[in-house]
Structure 1
Amino acid sequence: MIKVISYIVILLLTALMSFFLIFNFSPSFKKSVQLKIVNQIDNIASSRISNNLNAKGSVAAEFINIPIEAREIAPDIIQVTGVGNTHVIQTSEGDIMFDTGLSIQAAKQMSALSEIYPEINLSHIILSHSHADHTGGVKFWYEDGVKIITHVEFEEEQRYLKELETYFWNRNRTLFPFMPESPPKLDLLSTGGIKPNLLVENDRPFKFTKGGMDFEIYALPGAEGSDNLVLWLPQKRVLFSGDFFGPLFPQFPNIFTMRGEKIRKPFEYIKSLEKIIDLDPVMIIPSHKDPLDNTFFINEGIRKILGATKHVHDETIKGMNSGKTVEALMREIRLPPELSITQEHGKVSWAVKSIWEYYSTWFHFDRTTELYAVPQSDIYNDLLGIIDELKMQKLIQNYIDRGDFLKALHLIEIVLFDRNYRGPVLNFENFVLKELLKQANDTTKNSYEIYWLNYKLNNNQERLEAQ
C-alpha cells in the first residue's frame, strides 16, 4: 500500500509541475514551484529506501541517508553533500561547479548552498562523467552563458545509456527493488539531454585561469567509463576525482558492472592512475563521501590500486597465453598480501572474466553451440525427462554435503528453469544461496554479489510460499 501511495503522490506532483510549466507564470515562480515539488519527490524516495528491508545496509541506503549540507572543505572550495556531491570553487571572476549530484536532490542541495553562499555566479559546470548521480543537477543550475565541460566521449556515453534506459533501469531495479518502476519522464528529472560546449580529449588537458586560480582538466578514461575526467587545481594540489576511485578508497576497480554498461578498459585505467601519481595530490575530493587529506594514505592507496589492477590484468594475460580457461583464472588469480584492498565494489574474479572477454570477446573457443541462437536451457526439460528425479536430488545433496555449492547450483538451475516447478529442489536452492551469501559476507563483502543473492533468495521464498 505504501508503494502504491508513493507512486500516486509522485504522479500528482509531476502533474502539478506540468501545470505550472504550461501556463504563463513568471520563470522565477515556475522555478520556485519546481524546486518544491522535486524536494517532495526526494522525501518520498528517501522514505522508500528507509522502509525497504532489502535496502538495509546497502551502499544505496548509505548514500541516500547522507545529510544534505553545504560546508567549506578548503579555502574557496564548498562541498554540498548528498548521494552525489556537488562542488563549487569560488573565484573573484565567477564560480566553477564540479559535478551536480542527483536530480531529485538538486533542490535541497541548492537550498543548502544558498544558506552559506547565496550569491553564486556560475561560469563553468564540469562533469566527471555521464552517470545520473553526477549530472542530475545540471538542468537546475544551468543558465545561459554557463560553459559545460565534459570528456569528448560524454555525448556517446550519454546516448547509449539513454537509448538503453529501460533495459538498464529494469536491471537496476532487480538489484535495488526500492527504485520506482520506471524512469522519470519529466524533463527536469529525466536523464540525458545535456549538451556540453567544451570537450576534453585524452592526452590533451584543457587549462584555463579564473580569478587568479589555475584549472586543469584531464581526460582519464577507464574508471567509471570512457568519458571520465578529473579537475586539478595545481596551486592547491587538490584533485576533484568524481568517481575515478569509486565510492571507497582504496578499492579494487569495478571493471565489470552487474547492472550493465560497457566493460571498462583496464589498461586505460592503469595509465590514468599513473597520471594521477604524477600529479601527486595532497587532497582528493571525490563526488561520493568525504574528502581525503592524508597525503601518505592517498599515495599508498593510489599505488595499491595501480598495483592491484596491473597484477590482475597481467596475470590474466599470462594465463590466456598459457592456454588456461577463464574459469581456471577466475579461481586462481588473487591479490598478493601487499596489494590487498577491498573488493566491496569491484571483484577480482569478475575483473578477470571482464578482461578476458574485453580482449577475446564472448566466444571462448570451446563450445560450438556458443556460436548459435539455441541456448543450453532449451534441452533442460528433455534432459529432466530421462533423469531419475530422486537420483538428481541425491546428487545435489551429495554436492552440498561436500561443500561443492556451485556444482549443486548448476543442477538446481536445470530443475528450476521450469518456473512451474514446486518441490524439494527449491529447499536445496534456498540452502545453497544462503551459504553463498554467507561466503560473500565473510570474504569480499562485494555489494553487487550480495544484492544479487538477496534477490534470488527473495524469488526462492516466493516460490516456496506458493507450494
Structure 2
Amino acid sequence: MGNFIKYLIFGVIGLVVIGILTYQYSDSAKKQVQLQALDTVHDLATNRMKKQAENGSTSVAAEFINLPIEATEVADGVFRVTGIGNIYMVTTDAGNVLFDTGLVMQVPKQIAAMKEVVQDNKLSHIILSHSHADHIGGVKYWREEGVEIIAHDQFTEEQRYLKALEPYLHNRNRLLFPFMPEKPPTAEMIAYGGITPTLTVKEGDSYRLELGGKVMEIYAMAGAEGADNVVMWLPEQKVLLSGDFFGPMFPQFPNVFTMRGEKIRKPMEYIKSLNRLIELAPEVIMPGHLDPVRGEEKIVAGLTKMRDAVQYVHDETIAGMNSGKTLYQLMETISLPPELELSQAHGRVSWAVKSIWEYYATWFHFDRTTELYGVDRGDVMPDVVALAGVDALLDKARSFNKAGQPVHAMHIIEILLADPTQASDPSVNKVRLEALQLLLDEAINGIENSYEIYWLNAQIRLAEGAIAEEGEAP
C-alpha cells in the first residue's frame, strides 16, 4: 500500500511539472494544474480507503475521508463545506472570511463545492484555528493577493516544531493509520507548512473584525488540539466557529496530551479557555469536524461538564501526588464521578493523569535509578529470559491471560520481545496476540478510545505478521 501511494504521488508530481512547464508564465494556470492533480490524489486515496473498509480494515480517520464533500448554509450568511476537516465561509458585502482551509488533497472539491453556494467567494481574510494539516492544507490555494491570514501568536512555533519533527511524527501516525504514505509528502503543492500569518493574536486576547456590517471576534485560547488554538465568535448570531477546540466531538473528555505525540496541552490554560466560552453562552457550535451543535442550554451544560471534568482530574492528580501515591496507582484509581461522565473516545482520563503528573513533575519518577542513565532495560532482558527460561515466562503470560489480566501478560511478553532471538518466535507472538485481543475486546466494549483501538490493531497486525513469516497461521 505504501508503494502504491508513493507511485501515485510521483505520478501526480509528474503531472504538475508538465503543467508548470506548459504554463510557466501564468500563476493562475499553475494553480489550476495543481488543483487538478490534487483532485486525482483525493479520488485514488478515497477509493483505496473504501476498499480497506470493505475488507474490514477501517478507522474513524478512514471514515472521515469518505464523508461526502457538500456545501450548506448552516447559519445566516455562514456556509460550511464538509470533508475530513470542515471549512466555513462568512459572507459580507465587503468580502468574505474563510475559517480553516481543510486537508490539502480535498481542497479542489471543497473549493468547487463552496462556489456552488457562494458564487462571489472573494476573500478578505483567512482565519486558521490551529496548525494541524487538516485545517491549514488549503491556504496556498485559497489565498490571493491582499488576503490577510489571522492566527494565534503561537501558530508559527507550533508549525515549526511539527515540521521539524515531521518524519518522527509521521512514522508514529502511520503505525496507527496504515493508509498513510510511507514518507511525508515533500512536493511543494502538498507539503506541510510554510504559512506565515499576517496578523496574530496573543493567548487570552481577542481581535475584533468588522466587515460589511458584520462583527467577527477572534479569540486566542489554548484548546484540546494545541497551544495555538483560536475560535471565531459571531456575537450577533451567538455562533461559535470552534475548529478543534473540543477535539473531534462535543462534549468529550479532551486530549490533554495525545498518545500519538505532540506538545502537552496545559490543563489550567484549557480550563481558563472553557470559562471564557461558558461566559459567551453560544447557541450554535460550528466544529472543525462533523456536524453543528445547537442549543444554548445543551452547549453551556456540555462546556461546564468538560471544564469540571478536567478540573476534577487535575485536582485528584495533584492530591494523589501530594499523598505519596505513585503515578500508576493514580492512573488506575482516578475516574470521573457519575455526574461528570464524558465520552473518552478521543481523550482518556488515565492518560490525562499521566500527562498532568509529568507536566508538573517531569520525566524522572523518583522510583528507578536506571531512569537517570542511557541504558535501556531492554539491554538486559535477554539475560532475564535466559535466567527465567522462555517456557516459564510464556506459561506465566498464558496464566495472566487466562485470569483476565492481559496487561500483566504484556509485561511478560515485552520482556521476551526485547530478546531479538524471541521477537519472531511464533509461540511468543501467539501469546502476545491473545493478550492484545483481550485488550482490544476490553477497549471496544469499554470506553472505546479510538487511539487505544488504533494502537492495539497495529500491534495485532505486527504479531500476526511475525507468525505468518514463520509459516504458521495466527
**TM-score, with length taken from structure 1:** 0.97
Name the structure 2 match of 1:28. 28
Greater shift after overlay, 393-402 or 209-218? 393-402
Name the structure 1 match of 2:443. 440
CA distance in 2, matches of 1:292, 1:349: 27
Q: Are 1:248 and 2:249 matched, yes or no?
A: yes
Name the structure 2 match of 1:262. 263
CA shift at 1:185, angstroms? 1.4
CA shift at 1:416, angstroms? 1.7
CA distance in 2, matches of 1:28, 1:428: 59
CA shift at 1:44, angstroms? 1.4
The one-character-per-residue Cα deviations of 1:288-325 (angstroms, maximum 9, x if unpaired) are: 11111122221221111111111111100110111100
CA shift at 1:280, angstroms? 0.6
Greater shift after overlay, 432-441 or 387-396? 387-396
The one-character-per-residue Cα deviations of 1:230-279 (angstroms, maximum 9, x if unpaired) are: 00111111100000011111110011212210111111111100000001
The one-character-per-residue Cα deviations of 1:117-174 (angstroms, maximum 9, x if unpaired) are: 1211200000000000000010100111100000000000000000111111111100
Pairing 1:285-434 to 2, within 5 Å after superposition: 285-421=286-422, 422-434=425-437
Name the structure 1 match of 2:227. 226
CA shift at 1:6, angstroms? 4.4
Pairing 1:74-223 to 2, within 5 Å after superposition: 74-223=75-224
Name the structure 1 match of 2:12. 13
Greater shift after overlay, 112-121 or 352-361? 112-121
CA shift at 1:414, angstroms? 0.7
The one-character-per-residue Cα deviations of 1:380-422 (angstroms, maximum 9, x if unpaired) are: 1111112233322222222222222211111111112234421
CA distance in 2, matches of 1:339, 1:95: 40
Name the structure 2 match of 1:40. 40
**TM-score, with length taken from structure 2:** 0.96
Q: SS of the counterpart of 1:386?
A: helix
CA distance in 2, matches of 1:445, 1:30: 45
The one-character-per-residue Cα deviations of 1:28-82 (angstroms, maximum 9, x if unpaired) are: 3222221111100011111222222587451102210110011111110000110
CA distance in 1, matches of 2:155, 2:261: 17
Name the aligned partner's letter for residue 371 of structure 2.
Answer: E
**Seq. identity, %:** 49
Name the aligned partner's letter for residue 277 of structure 1.
Answer: I
CA distance in 2, matches of 1:58, 1:137: 24
Name the aligned partner's letter for residue 145 of structure 1.
Answer: G
> Would you say the 8 A contact 1:222–1:267 is kept in 2?
no
> Would you say the 8 A contact 1:50–1:56 is kept in 2?
no
Cα RMSD (Å) of the superposition?
A: 1.4
Greater shift after overlay, 85-94 or 8-17? 8-17
CA distance in 2, matches of 1:318, 1:14: 56
CA distance in 2, matches of 1:295, 1:55: 39
Q: SS of the counterpart of 2:100?
A: strand
> Would you say the 8 A contact 1:222–1:266 is kept in 2?
no
CA shift at 1:4, angstroms? 4.0
Greater shift after overlay, 178-187 or 362-371? 178-187
CA distance in 2, matches of 1:203, 1:280: 18
CA distance in 2, matches of 1:426, 1:56: 21
Greater shift after overlay, 387-396 or 311-320? 387-396
Q: Are 1:452 and 2:455 matched, yes or no?
A: yes
Q: Which runs of 5+ in 1 are unaligned?
A: none
> Would you say the 8 A contact 1:55–1:176 is kept in 2?
no
CA distance in 1, matches of 2:204, 2:391: 63
CA distance in 2, matches of 1:445, 1:121: 43
CA distance in 1, matches of 2:378, 2:130: 38
CA distance in 2, matches of 1:307, 1:62: 31
CA shift at 1:210, angstroms? 0.7
Q: Which runs of 5+ in 2 are unaligned?
A: none
Name the structure 1 match of 2:51. 51
Q: SS of the counterpart of 1:173?
A: helix
CA distance in 2, matches of 1:5, 1:307: 47
CA distance in 2, matches of 1:52, 1:424: 29
CA distance in 2, matches of 1:465, 1:5: 23
> Would you say the 8 A contact 1:150–1:199 is kept in 2?
yes
Greater shift after overlay, 223-232 or 4-13? 4-13
> Would you say the 8 A contact 2:49–2:179 is kept in 1?
yes
Name the aligned partner's letter for residue 394 of structure 1.
Answer: D
CA distance in 1, matches of 2:420, 2:387: 19
Q: SS of the counterpart of 1:96?
A: strand
> Would you say the 8 A contact 1:223–1:244 is kept in 2?
yes
CA shift at 1:7, angstroms? 3.2
> Would you say the 8 A contact 1:409–1:432 is kept in 2?
yes
> Would you say the 8 A contact 1:55–1:61 is kept in 2?
no
Q: SS of the counterpart of 2:380?
A: helix
